[in-house]
């Protein structure tokens, strides 16, 4: 097997030529995006360098508390990101449901995946725990974000249908069933679609990374298949928890719709 080509500082610098090309293009065309391009390149570089050093430290100083701390930061960031991404103002109770679904859904999938499927040892081994948690939490975050938009918009635009159903004696669950089903469907669809193109349209990041680092493609594929199933499981679990609990926040204990009040 070939050794890994380590990138030296000059090779890294050569990669930045792409940013220079982009800057020249936007400058020539008069598109005022230079600032964003420069800031995001610098942010990307600093964030990744820092993450690299943190990961080196964590791998060399394995401790369950460090792993738990890393996962907690990822979860908090993901939950905060969902709140931030939402275009509409979210109610306090809906925010609580988002946090609860993310924590329950991702952590249970993660623990099952690492301890039952991959069987890592020790259980907090950061070399496995952190990157896999990143993929599971990141994908679930995208799923829930989509779900939040769909649920809030759905209840808002179909308020009239929901109220008409309530007037006829429907429970809040019956009155929102089609919105809830629709939300779940559209939140898991991107994950299902990405499975279809996998290996043909694109080679997924984790698999590519493993192959570049010298792992046999067969082993890399094994991991990729397993992680895709883990991601699908986690996205489905977080989204189903979110929709099943989330629709209730739009009603009070008298089964009255309280949206927009």
Stretch that binds another protein, among 12-20, 115-123, 149-157, 252-260 (CB under 8 A): 252-260
How many chain residues touch another protein (CB under 8 A)? Answer: 17
Structure tokens at 204: 């997924």
If binding is defined by CB under 8 A, does position 163 make contact with another protein? yes
Quote the least distance from Cβ 169 to another protein, whole Å.
4
Residue placing its CB nearer to another protein in the complex, 150 or 231:
150
Q: How far is CA 116 from CA 12, 51, 109, 233, in A?
A: 39, 28, 10, 14
Selected from 32, 89, 254, 260, the binder of another protein by CB under 8 A is 254
Residue with tokens 């000059």: 10
Selected from 5, 28, 168, 201, the binder of another protein by CB under 8 A is 168
Residue 242: closest CA among 133, 132, 111, 152: 152
If binding is defined by CB under 8 A, does position 157 make contact with another protein? no
* DSSP states of 91-127: PHHHHHHHHHHHHHHHHHHHHHIIIIII--SSTT-HH
Selected from 167, 196, 200, 218, the binder of another protein by CB under 8 A is 167
Residue placing its CB nearer to another protein in the complex, 45 or 256:
256
- Do 195 and 204 contact (CB within 8 A), yes or no? no
Selected from 55, 170, 195, 211, the binder of another protein by CB under 8 A is 170
Quote the least distance from Cβ 26 to another protein, whole Å.
47
Other CB atoms within a 10 A radius of the CB of residue 14 amount to 11
How many residues belong to the chain?
Answer: 261
- Residues engaged in binding another protein (CB under 8 A): 160-161, 163-171, 174-175, 254-257
């Amino acid at each position: 097997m070939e050794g890994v080509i380590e990138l030296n500082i000059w090779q890294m610098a050569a990669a930045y030529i792409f940013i220079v090309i982009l800057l020249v293009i936007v400058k020539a065309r008069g598109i005022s995006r230079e600032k964003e391009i420069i800031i995001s390149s610098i942010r990307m570089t600093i964030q990744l360098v820092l993450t690299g050093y943190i990961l080196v430290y964590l791998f060399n100083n394995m401790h369950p508390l460090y792993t738990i701390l890393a996962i907690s930061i990822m979860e908090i960031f993901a939950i905060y990101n969902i709140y931030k991404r939402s275009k509409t103002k979210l109610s306090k109770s809906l925010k609580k449901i988002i946090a609860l679904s993310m924590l329950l859904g991702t952590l249970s999938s993660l623990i099952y995946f690492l301890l039952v499927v991959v069987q890592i040892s020790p259980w907090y081994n950061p070399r496995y725990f952190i990157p896999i948690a990143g993929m599971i939490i990141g994908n679930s975050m995208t799923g829930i974000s989509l779900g939040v938009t769909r649920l809030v918009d759905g209840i808002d635009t179909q308020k009239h249908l929901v109220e008409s159903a309530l007037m006829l004696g429907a429970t809040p669950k019956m009155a929102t069933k089609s919105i809830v089903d629709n939300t779940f469907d559209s939140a898991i669809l991107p994950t299902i679609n990405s499975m279809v193109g996998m290996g043909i349209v694109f080679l997924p990041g984790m698999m590519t990374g493993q192959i570049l680092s010298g792992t046999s493609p067969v082993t890399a594929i094994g991991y990729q298949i397993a992680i895709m199933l883990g991601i699908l499981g986690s996205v489905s679990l977080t989204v189903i928890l979110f929709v099943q609990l989330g629709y209730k926040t739009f009603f009070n204990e008298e089964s009255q719709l309280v949206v927009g009040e």
